Amino acid sequence: MATILQYKDVKRTAVLIPAYREETTVAEVVAEARRYLPDVIVVDDASDDATVQRAEGAGATVIRRAVNGGKGASLIEGFQYVLQHDFDAVIALDADGFHDPNQIPKFLETYQRTHIPVLIGSRMAEPEKIPMVRRWSIRVMSYWLNRLMGVYVSDPPCGFRFYRCDVLPFLLETGSALPAEFETLLHIASRQIRVGSVRISKKPHRHKSWISPFRDIVRFSRVLRKYYRRRREEASRKRQEGHSDA
C-alpha cells in the first residue's frame, strides 16, 4: 500500500541520541550536535554511570528510562517525544561518537534539495575506510533490500538518519519494541515512502566491533523472515475474512 506524503517545510528539527553507558562520549556528541541544532534529546536507557549528568551538562534534554530496553525502545520513546512537541523532523545518531555530528548539515541540505522524507547516512562514498568484512555485509544487505523491496539504500545498517515527523507514526504503528534499522527500512519500503542516502564520513579512530558485520547479517536475515511471516499471516487473515463475508 502506497503512502502519499506531501512536501512539508521543515522548520524545527531535533537531534535524537539513544544512549547507554556512554559517559565518556555523550557530552562531546551533544555539544557538537548543538552547534547546528539547539534541540538535542538524549534517551538514557537506564545507564548506571554518569551518562545522564554529562548529557544534561552539555545542554541536552534527557529522557530517563527506568528499565533497560535496548536501542529500539529508546528510539520509540524519542520518536514519541518529538511528535508530542511538534517538531517537523528528527535526526537520529549514536552516542558513542561513531557518527560525526558535524555531518548534520548534510542531512538538512539534502532534504531541502530533494524533499525526500527519509534519509539514511552512507559511509560507502569512502569504501576504502571501511573494513572489508563490514563492506561486504553492507553490500549484501543493500542488494537484498533492493531485490526484495525495490528500495536501494547504499548503507542499510547505518543508524545516522533523518526522518520527517509525518513518517514516524507509520514506524510506531507496528507496536514493535525493537525498530531495528533493517526492520524500519522494510516497513518504510512496504509503504512505498521515498528513501534517500546522504554521503557521510565517519569520525577517525572510531571503530565498531569486528563481529558486528556478522551480527548484522544474522539480524537482517531474522528481520526478513519475520517480515515475510507477518505478510503471510496478514494475507491468510484477509482470505479468511473474505470467505466469512461470502
- The predicted-structure confidence for 67-125, as pLDDT tens digits, reads as follows 999 888 899 999 999 999 999 999 999 999 989 999 999 999 999 999 999 999 998 87
Rounded to whole angstroms, how far apart are CA atoms 168 and 173? 9
Say what the pLDDT of residue 246 is: 57
Comparing C-alpha atoms, which of 102, 57, 55 is closest to residue 74? 55
Burial tier of 130 (Cβ tally within 10 Å: 0-12, 13-18, 19+)? middle
pTM: 0.84
Burial tier of 72 (Cβ tally within 10 Å: 0-12, 13-18, 19+)? middle
DSSP 163-190: EETTTHHHHHTT--S---HHHHHHHHHH
Instruction: Give bridge partners of residue 62 from the DSSP assignment.
Output: 42
Cell of 34: 548543538
Q: In CATH, which superfamily holds the domain spanning 13-204+216-245? A: Spore Coat Polysaccharide Biosynthesis Protein SpsA; Chain A (3.90.550.10)
DSSP state of 203: P
Q: Is 220 helix (H, G, I), strand (E, B) or coil?
A: helix
Cell of 157: 545498517
Give pLDDT tens digits along the chain (246 positions).
Answer: 556 577 788 999 999 999 999 999 999 999 999 999 999 999 999 999 999 999 999 999 999 999 999 888 899 999 999 999 999 999 999 999 989 999 999 999 999 999 999 999 998 877 777 777 777 788 888 887 777 777 788 888 889 999 999 999 988 875 554 456 777 887 788 788 899 999 998 766 555 544 466 777 777 777 777 777 877 887 778 787 776 665
